[in-house]
């Protein structure tokens, strides 16, 4: 649904857009483009949400949760995915993965990430000041960084937290990374 007046009124669901949207994103270099990760897959609008196109080629898992767009390339998208809501969120059934799309079919990415089994869907973020960089936060409390638009990942050390342990990560924000 969309509001053009700050939430006073709302337009109904648009044809082609997926229902059960989990994450929406836009890109400053792609005016009118909207990206959608949903419980039924992935869709994009190039008309500011008026019309939508669904892209599922390469996705073995269609329950999508997280979504990040490479700040340096509006055609590079990373999504977190699972077979269904139980595999996405239930710690006893957890089994999820990441996929990357660079204008063509989605491809699963695993290098530098924990194994799919035991991992719930990740929250994904990027920041305009870091072209090519995408971050992934697992609900289990690990943080990952990709410097090549989501193709390869490295686990980041979490210092300064003492004995604090995350219970669940459901959202994230980022600014420029400083090592």
Q: Are 22 and 122 in contact (CB under 8 A)?
A: no
Average pLDDT of span 3-31: 89
d(CA 8, CA 172): 28
Residue 161 maps to a domain: no
Average pLDDT of span 46-66: 94
Least confident window among 11-25, 46-60, 155-169 = 155-169
Which domain CATH number covers 127?
2.130.10.10
Confidence of residue 13 (pLDDT cuts 50, 70, 90): confident
For residue 157, give every residue at least 6 positions away whose Cβ sits within 8 Å of its Cβ, in sequence order, or none: none
Residue 117 maps to a domain: yes
Residue 58 belongs to what domain range? 21-155
Which is higher by pLDDT, 8 or 177? 8
For residue 67, give every residue at least 6 positions away whose Cβ sits within 8 Å of its Cβ, in sequence order, or none: 22, 23, 24, 25, 35, 36, 37, 42, 77, 78, 79, 80, 124
Question: What's the number of domains the chain is made of?
Answer: 1
**170: pLDDT strictly greater than 60:** no
Q: Where are the alpha helices (DSSP H) in the chain?
A: 85-89
CA 22-126-51 angle, 5° bins: 45
pTM of the prediction? 0.87
Confidence of residue 178 (pLDDT cuts 50, 70, 90): low
Q: What is the pLDDT of residue 144?
A: 92
Residue 36 maps to a domain: yes
Average model confidence (pLDDT) across the chain: 87
pLDDT above 90 as % of the chain = 60
Residue 167 maps to a domain: no
For the stretch 137-159, pLDDT in tens is 887 778 899 999 999 999 988 66
Residue 137 maps to a domain: yes
For the stretch 101-140, pLDDT in tens is 998 999 999 999 888 888 888 889 999 999 999 999 887 7
Residue 134 maps to a domain: yes
Q: What is the pLDDT of residue 174?
A: 58
Residue 86 maps to a domain: yes
Residue 59 maps to a domain: yes
Location of structure tokens 């006893």: 92
């Amino acid at each position: 649904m969309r509001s053009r007046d700050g939430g006073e009124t709302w337009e109904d669901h648009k044809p082609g857009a997926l229902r059960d949207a989990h994450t929406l994103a836009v890109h400053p270099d792609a005016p009118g483009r909207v990206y959608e990760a949903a419980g039924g897959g992935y869709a994009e609008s190039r008309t500011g949400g008026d019309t939508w196109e669904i892209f599922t080629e390469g996705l073995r898992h269609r329950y999508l949760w997280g979504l990040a767009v490479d700040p340096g390339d509006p055609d590079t998208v990373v999504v977190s995915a699972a077979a269904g809501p139980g595999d996405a969120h239930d710690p006893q059934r957890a089994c999820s993965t990441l996929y990357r799309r660079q204008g063509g079919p989605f491809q699963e990415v695993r290098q530098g990430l924990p194994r799919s089994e035991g991992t719930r869907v990740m929250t994904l973020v990027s920041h305009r000041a870091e072209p090519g960089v995408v971050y992934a936060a697992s609900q289990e409390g690990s943080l990952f960084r990709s410097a090549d638009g989501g193709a390869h990942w490295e686990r980041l050390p979490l210092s300064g937290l003492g004995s604090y342990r995350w219970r669940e990560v459901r959202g994230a924000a980022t600014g420029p990374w400083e090592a």
